[in-house]
Amino acid sequence: MGLIIQKFGGTSLGDAEKIHRAARRAIRAKLEGNEVVVVVSAMGGSTDTLVDLAYQITDRPNRREMDQLLATGEQVSIALMAMSIHHAGHDAISLTGGQIGLRTDRTFGRARIREITQRGRIISLLKDGSIVIAAGFQGVDAGANITTLGRGGSDTTAVALAASLGADVCEIYTDVDGVYSTDPRIVPEARKLDYIFYDEMLELSSLGAQVMHSRSIELGKNYGVRIHVRSSYTDAKGTDIVKEWSDFDQVIVRGAALKRNLARVELTNVPHQPGIAGEVFTRVAERNVIVDDIIQVVHEGGNTADISFTIEAPEIEAAQALCDEMAVEMPGMTPEIKPHRAKVSVVGVGMRTHTGVASRMFESLHQADVNIENISTSEIVISCVIREADGERALRAVHAAFELEPS
Ligand code: ASP
Ligand code: MG
């Protein structure tokens, strides 16, 4: 007898028939002798509809009220899921984020979980024989305001519950049958992975793979939760997201990802003095612009330097305002923002112990006639900033170069 968390995403709850299907899964796990907690997202597309409605009312919705609104999507699905299980003759009870005691900070729209206070209540409901249905994505702050965890945040609710209850596994049910070596919509040869390590999954999520909410992987890693991503439509085994172990099949690159909608900010002829980088990036941070891949090159003579960094396209306006301001304060400095950039990356813990990965990646991009504008590396990632128009071709090229296709 085990304790299983089953999380169903919006596409797995698109209509009444799909809700019944998800309910049958939960019932089956229960009949197999497990205690079952189901975490649900809003029904497919409904969160987008709510966001859209808010923007029909105002182009600046209040953040607290936005969370109040968005949390309703999950409240619909928990109740319907519980009804479906009742309809099949089994016990179930639905609980909102507040009712499971999912406490967060007060950052509306992307709140962080602090604790789950109603663990005892959940356990006693399970002991009484109920399937417990919890609303994903939502919580409450210390002042009982409803908060949400950020788009895709139901995954994080599921993993947090798994950690808190000591579940044997956290199953993530979705419309694909697992985690792929890259996006199969762009690269049809992409391969389903049997397993992937937390760190690899974390990197791939932040580099553009839209499989799971990054914070859920972080939590999974910190608490050692076994996560299993699988299809709601079949019984096929999916992908395990697990703790690192030395895999003897010597996989060097586990996956490749493409992140679009980026821009590169270039500040040319910045005075080369102590404190300038600090000054520039303090101002960037004050405007809440998130930056990546910072490069500084000092000119000959050592009086001036160029600083460049990557931002996401929605931040271009804020970055432009900042550039204009700095251009006035630093005579001689020329700012330029280059839009329509993308980043292609390869990820794998095997890079720690193998050489030649970078050269193979660059050579494959060369063969595909893709110009690399910037390179950044970390222990388990190599990323290249390229033109957005080259993105898909670049992803196909690196994916093939590392033989990530099925053999
Ligand atoms: N319903 C929320 C969203 O669409 C949360 C989730 O699906 O995980 O982002
Ligand atoms: Mg999701």
Question: Quick one: pLDDT band at residue 208, thresholds 50, 70, 90?
Answer: confident
136 Cβ inside 6 Å of ligand 1: yes
Using the atom order of ligand 1, give the atom closest to the CA of residue 42: 1
CA of 106 to the centre of ligand 1 (A): 19
152 Cβ below 6 A of ligand 1: yes
Residue-range domain boundaries for the chain: 3-175
Ligand having the closest approach to the CA of 149: 1
Provide the token pair at 197: 């390590």
Beta strands, E only, 82-194: 92-95, 102-104, 113-116, 131-135, 138-140, 146-148, 169-174
Q: For ligand 1, say whether the CB of 10 is within 6 Å of any of its atoms.
A: yes
Angular region, 150: left φ>0, alpha ψ -120 to 50, beta rest: left
Q: Looking at residues 341-360, what average pLDDT do you find?
A: 94
Which ligand has the nearest atom to the CA of 176? 2
- CA dist 299 to 148, 161, 271, 304, 329, Å? 47, 53, 10, 6, 20
> At 393, which amino acid appears?
R
Atom of ligand 1 nearest to the CA of 149: 5
Measured CA to CA in angstroms, residue 379 lies from 151, 203, 355, 365, 372 at distances of 28, 11, 12, 21, 20
Q: Cα Rg for the chain, rounded, in angstroms?
A: 23
What is residue 245's predicted lDDT score, i.e. its pLDDT?
A: 84
Task: Give the span between the Cα atoms of 137 and 250, in whole angstroms.
Answer: 37
CB distance 42 to ligand 1 below 6 Å: yes
The most confident of 36-40, 313-317, 330-334, by mean pLDDT: 36-40
46-73 per-position pLDDT tens digit:
999 999 999 999 999 999 999 999 999 9
Give the C-alpha separation, 386 to 366, whole Å. Answer: 12
Contact 142, 203 (CB under 8 A): no
Write the pLDDT tens digit of every residue in 368-404: 999 999 999 999 999 999 999 999 999 999 999 998 7
Question: How much is the pLDDT for 406?
Answer: 66
Superfamily of domain covering 3-175: Acetylglutamate kinase-like (3.40.1160.10)
